[in-house]
Structure 1
Amino acid sequence: INGVELVAGADVSEKALKSFAEQFGVKQTFTDYKKMLRLKDLDAVSVCTPNYMHKAPTVAALRAGKHVMVEKPMAMNAREAQAMVDAAKEAKRKLVIGFQYRFSPEAQAVKRYVDDGQIGRPLFARVQTLRRRGIPSWGVFGRKDLQGGGPLIDLGVHYIEVALYLMGSPSAVSASGSAYTYIGNKPSKTLCSWGHWDHKSYTVEDLAVGFVRLDNGACMTVESSFAAHIEKDDFNLQIMGEKGGFTLHPPAIYKDEAGLMVNV
């Protein structure tokens, strides 16, 4: 990135830290991130720790006067997320979550139509991040105590963020939903390209569904799964407005023009 210099890194694993330093030419390394935060020439910090370790280093960095970008999901729960936001406001520093999907060519193309008024007032968004059978067989994706949740917090948050971005960033006023675990916590003989996961430690949901009301009068449904009895994986966002609508994959606009129903 132009104008950015990687000056230091911190990791509790000395082996990982050495590899990182060699790969990126970083001269200052620390096994204690708190010591790294004392560096005066450090302007911003990227928090790439596991989910359950997002809050502590983020709050510490903000209080040390550093701007922060933290990987998604932001935190393990709403309480932790609020504490992070409060720390950023108190320190008067920027806190950014690693949601990159809004910068995709598809999202940016659709955003032009939205900003041009082609969609009109948004009414409804449908978010779908569905895997037919895609439970990760590595890492701790199946452990709620370390991850905070399953497909909704891992996959769904990306498309929820894009949906809100393309709808003008409204705030949620109410939400309801359900989560179901019925495949991941049982041994499976079904062939799957993702491999076999540890069902004994699996404590997250297989499927999460939700309904959200927004303060601009619109509403949004959310469907997210690691495992579901569906035809195929389905990752998409659809938004319907008063003047037109669109889907993200493939990027397409649906509207009335010259007395015709037109797809762009």
Structure 2
Amino acid sequence: MTSSPIGRALDEVPRTPLAVTPTPLLESPHLARHLGLGAGLWIKADAWTGFGLGGNKVRKLEYELTPERLLGVTHLITAGGPHSNHCRVTAAAAAHLGLSCTLVLNGCPDDPARGNALLHRILGAEIVTVSGREDRAPAMEERARDIERAGGRALLVPLGASTPRGSLGYARALGEIADQLPPGARPTLVVPSSSGGTLAGLILGMALLGVEWPVLAVSADDPAHEVKARAVELAQAAAGIVAPDTAGESVHGAARAVRVTDSYVGTGYGEPTPESEEA
């Protein structure tokens, strides 16, 4: 990616290669016709990032789990729901790197465990359950203290790896998308958003490329204004890592093109609505 503005900004930033990239950008003409999208529809196939059964969180962990940050670390701790993709990939990364892993999950997994809940256990993670989302961070910190007292060292990986550093993974993804689109294309990007790191990376990527493509972010849980504010804050902080003199001002311009909707949350995170099942 060195020849692109995103590549030049990111190639000097440490990361631990995990994902198989670039992932394909798949044209979907039949679905586009069904939805009445005359301009066409492309799907960025990040289910095919390869590591730990894939998904977008792999890109973020590449920048979270760098050799410098892992120096002396014996244990990864993160949090999510019982079927969290992020927790699954973090557990896979811990196993790959020879580290122990604790997952703090709000809500009890199915018994018997299946899906990601089963994979969490297969990957060797310790499972700590808490009642609600607000209990996750205190439980992570308490487990880290226990590990320190036992002579280990824990690295806390925030929810979704949505940090300024983790957001760089999706700035890199935007560079791939730009390279894969037909010449002259000006796409509208549609992306789910919750913890905000993926959206932040897309905003930063647009700032680095100097484009303001329309973005529709669909909240999976929180109010729209909270999701956007969180993503813009992350994008600004990420810009400070890679291009503090140039990208920061451009982030505001790119963020103007972002609209977040919370109209599809339904009864809560991970709970399908009748409309989504019909679709």
TM-score, structure 2 as length reference: 0.28
> Whose helix proportion is higher, 1 or 2?
2
Report which structure shows greater RCO (CA 8 Å, sep ≥6).
Answer: 1
Richer in strand (by share):
1
Decide which structure has the larger Cα Rg and report it. 1
TM-score by length of 1: 0.29
